[in-house]
Structure 1
């Protein structure tokens, strides 16, 4: 028997079986049952259709982790329109590119970020602008989210949908300046959510704290998985260590996610304030972005009393494709578990992970030979929006039919990955992807920069941080004509804040090949010589 896998059915199930149960704890202090969440989503669906939104149209959401994001996402997808979440840390120019590239017809933007859309609204094809606080947004005409819901009613037309149709586009910075839209189908999202439920041990009595941005690959699939299983969402407007501990205690939080930089923030706060770390439930925490060092895992598990799961993936892959939660390979009471848990881990169910050499052949499972990670699975993206050549390259570089992760790894006898370096020009700092090429292009625009190479440098706080090796226009690294602080300010003014360069080294020349190509590998080797591997451990 074949039944189509459709993402609106996650909310349908929750309404059917948990309608009167609490679904969402809002940042406003409001609490919504699944029936109430469903009604608000229905009203948003009706409102979109009244404004001409049809199946296949793109609707953007720019919001921190509030109840509005959940309502908008399901309201969009119930109409067959394509949910297009935006990274709220980007610049107006970034938003202009994405909204135009995707051809976005409508946007809901939180009041804290709507001004960035207002700045470029005349440059984009978008015609419908909705926010949750019109009084906080100056400029053009914006509609109030709550007023829109009140006026809409609950009747809308849910079109016939097929599981192979695109339902979300998640933009990733990739390795070039222009973001790429990762297209995911109903089937991709549904199967990834099923895998998340299983591997993250989600149950209907879980209480999930949103410390992971919902825009990150649909919050690692948790907008689907947590909803479908009938668990509770606890929303946030950002990361504050004290508030996280307090919410864990007061709301009996049992599960959350966080990049290693979030774990570092929590550890720093814990050491200074000694808060209670649990409420009425045991806490599980999933981390990804860069491998946490053993000391971090030890503190989280032995002092906080939480259980840590290290997962791995990319926006293009669901994102989750591996887990270090392999209890038959370690003893919960043994320090040996830390060695296992800092690895990227074993493949998810139904997911084929290989580590291959330049010719596409599998490397030995000796945990020493390095190759590139490639993956096949039902949770992998369909394509890049409007970029067939980039899509073809992603699935055919070393071996046909596998998505190429761009990460270099070893693999042990149990098939457990350990990332050693990156093939792509990407830096993962605090869980955010930063394109070294984009930073280089920006720095090249400074008149005192003649040549530049940007690489990841180790950072105790962020795992990795961008470092620029700059050949000054003066030709003299001792008299470069510009300061490190001035270059930092220059990148901050021209790029999203998290992409700011924080380390600069002025050099006479960059290492190059005989054909003039910069040898970034040499720079990385020198920068990481005291580390176990050339990737960050935040």
Structure 2
């Protein structure tokens, strides 16, 4: 039998079997059952259809982790439209590009972020803007609660297939403009099944939203938590006291925590001399991705917090998750040092996921734990394509090994297939889980009249894993200092892309043709580190 895989099935199932159970604990303190959650999603669907939104139309959502993000996502997908979540850390210029590129028909924006859309609304293709608090926003914005009340709950769900694109997630533009990653019902559904299995999600889970929902649909948790009938605990941001308070008061059992979040929690724990209740009635497990967690983090989180930590790996284009180091059978008989060594690696492929490490000819490198190649992957959770970018799509799937998505990370693997990232092929920085283009930052630096030459590389950071560092050759008679250059860049890029370190040099290492050899700068900067990627 073949049954189409549709993401709308997740909320349908929860409404059918968990109608009176708590679905969402909102940031306002309100609680919604799955019956109520479903009714609000239906109203969002009815509102969109009343405004002429049809199957295939794009609807953007700019929102922190509130109940509106969840309701909008399902409301959009139930009418066959394409959910287009936006990173709330971007600049108005970024939004102008994305909204134009995607051809967005409707924008829902939280009142705290709507001003960024307001700044460019005359430059984007829609004239329908909705928010949760119009009084807090300049311009002509519709009130979402008024619209939901007026719309009712009746809408027509169109015929959908599992190969329809259901969401577009935009990358951070590490090689030029942001790219829209197109994901189908099938890819999202199968990725959610994998997350459910490997993250051990069940109906009695209480999930705390510390991971942004815009990040590849919250790593698929908008589906997995919903479909399993578990509870979403929403947040408007990540604050250490609030996280520990929510864990106790809501009996949180599961959260995702980037290395920066873990560092924040550990810093607060230390400031309180360990006098912090780290669990409620439930045992806690946490998934972390990005930089490999250092051993000190593993010892604190597992030893003192008494949480189970799961290290996972992926990319926007791959679902995101494709590997896990949470492999208890491989930990049997191992000392803590050996176990932590395995947990720091990116791990082995998810079910149904083929992860390989290949050389420049696309052939597998030896599984010796030392030979470096590029990670490539093939799996049902991998994206369909980039939106309106066929050449970039072709390159991503064919550069070294045909038919595999190329991750851009250079790694080793061992006899059991454990992947361990050593370096990056792409000219990017991954800081606090966000991708940053070094080329973009160099372009901004060259706009400064006193900069003669510049090169930006990732530098190691205990807090962020990696942080942007600029090596700068100044023009003659220049007077700008490091803080002045940092401020110059900060005024022109999203906050997470800011340059945090500047080193003035007499010259940059260059080839005979004048190309800057950034690898030499990186080798010098990362001397003494385990690898040339962030470990914090």
TM-score by length of 1: 0.98
For the 8 Å contact 1:480–1:506, the answer to whether it is kept is: no
Task: Give, in angstroms, the shift of residue 473 of structure 1.
Answer: 1.8
Structure 2 unaligned spans of 5+: none
The within-5 A match list for 1:96-245 is 96-138=96-138, 140-245=139-244
Aligned to 1:433: 435
- Give the Cα–Cα distance (whole angstroms) in 2 for the partners of residues 513 and 380 of structure 1: 37
Name the residue aligned to 2:419. 417
Structure 1 position 515, deviation (Å): 2.6
1:537 aligns with 535
Alpha-carbon displacement from aligned partner over 1:298-318 (angstroms, at most 9, x marks no partner): 100000000000000000000
Task: Tell me by how many angstroms 1:345 deviates.
Answer: 0.2
Q: Which residue of 1 aligns with 2:94?
A: 94
**Superposed displacement of residue 431, structure 1:** 1.0
- 8 Å contact kept, 2:209–2:234: yes
Instruction: Work out the CA distance in 1 between the residues paired with 2:517 and 2:332.
Output: 43
Q: Does 1:451 align with 2:449?
A: no
Structure 1 Cα separation of the partners of residues 354 and 242 of structure 2: 39
Partner of 1:32: 32
Match of 2:23 in 1: 23
> 1:257-268 to 2 correspondence within 5 Å?
257-268=256-267
Matches within 5 A, 1:237-386: 237-273=236-272, 274-331=275-332, 334-335=335-336, 336-386=338-388
- Answer yes or no: is 1:394 the counterpart of 2:392: no
Provide the rounded CA distance (Å) in 1 between the counterparts of 2:173 and 2:285: 30
Q: Which residue of 2 aligns with 1:511?
A: 509
Cα offsets for 1:470-521 (capped at 9, x unmatched): 12122xxxx7421111111111110111100010111122212233222111
SS at match of 1:427: strand
- Which of 468, 481, 484 matches 1:483? 481
Q: How many positions carry a matched residue from both structures?
A: 533
Q: Take 1:509 and 1:188, find their aligned partners in 2: how far apart are those partners?
A: 48
Q: Partners of 1:72 and 1:235 in 2: how far apart? A: 14
1:365–1:410 CA contact under 8 A, matched in 2: yes
The structure-2 alpha-carbon separation of the partners of 1:82 and 1:420, relative to structure 1 and needing over 3 Å to count, comes to: same
- The alpha carbon displacement at 1:126 in A equals 1.4
Change (3 A) 1:171 1:377: same
Unaligned runs of 5+ in 1: none
Mapped contact 1:283–1:306 kept (Cα < 8 A): yes
Does the CA-based 8 Å contact 1:375-1:405 persist in structure 2? yes
Q: Secondary structure at the match of 1:105?
A: strand
Distance 2:388 2:218 in 1: 23
In the alignment, the residues of structure 2 paired with residue 513 and residue 412 of structure 1 have an alpha-carbon distance, to the nearest angstrom, of: 35
Structure 1 CA distance for aligned equivalents of residues 235 and 446 of structure 2: 38
Tell me the residue number matched to 2:79.
Answer: 79
How far, CA to CA, are the matches of 1:453 and 1:388 in structure 2? 30
Task: Name the structure 1 match of 2:50.
Answer: 50
SS of the residue 1:494 aligns to: coil
Residues 174 and 426 in structure 1, CA contact (< 8 A), matched pair in contact too? no
* Between 33-42 and 444-453, the greater mean CA deviation after superposition: 444-453
Pair 1:118–1:332, CA change in 2 (3 A): farther
Partner of 1:3: 3
- Deviations along 1:7-61, one digit per CA (max 9) or x if unpaired, are 1111000000001100000000100000100000000000001111110000000
Secondary structure of the 1:53 match is coil
Separation of aligned partners in 2, 1:175 and 1:496: 13
Cα deviation for residue 333 of structure 1 reads 8.2
Is the Cα–Cα contact under 8 Å of residues 172 and 434 in structure 2 kept in the other structure? no
Quote the Cα distance in structure 1 between the aligned partners of 2:409 and 2:152: 49
Report the Cα distance in structure 1 between the residues aligned to 2:75 and 2:36, rounded to whole angstroms: 13
TM-score norm. by structure 2 comes to 0.98
SS at 1:523 equivalent: helix
Match of 2:68 in 1: 68
The SS at the match of 1:395 is: helix
Write the deviation string for residues 127-172 of structure 1: whole angstroms up to 9, x where unpaired: 210000111101x211111111100010001000011110000001
Deviations 1:267-312 (A, max 9, x none): 0001112210000000000000111101101100000000000000
State the Cα deviation string for residues 380-420 of structure 1 (Å, max 9, x = none): 00111111111111011111100000000000110000000
**SS state of the match for residue 381, structure 2?**
coil
| Mapped partners of 1:529, 1:402: distance in 2 | 33
Q: Which string of whole-angstrom CA distances, capped at 9 and with x for unpartnered residues, describes residues 429-485 of structure 1?
A: 1111111111111111111111111110000111100001112122xxxx7421111
Paired with 1:229 and 1:521, the residues of 2 have a C-alpha distance of 46
Tell me by how many angstroms 1:334 deviates: 3.8
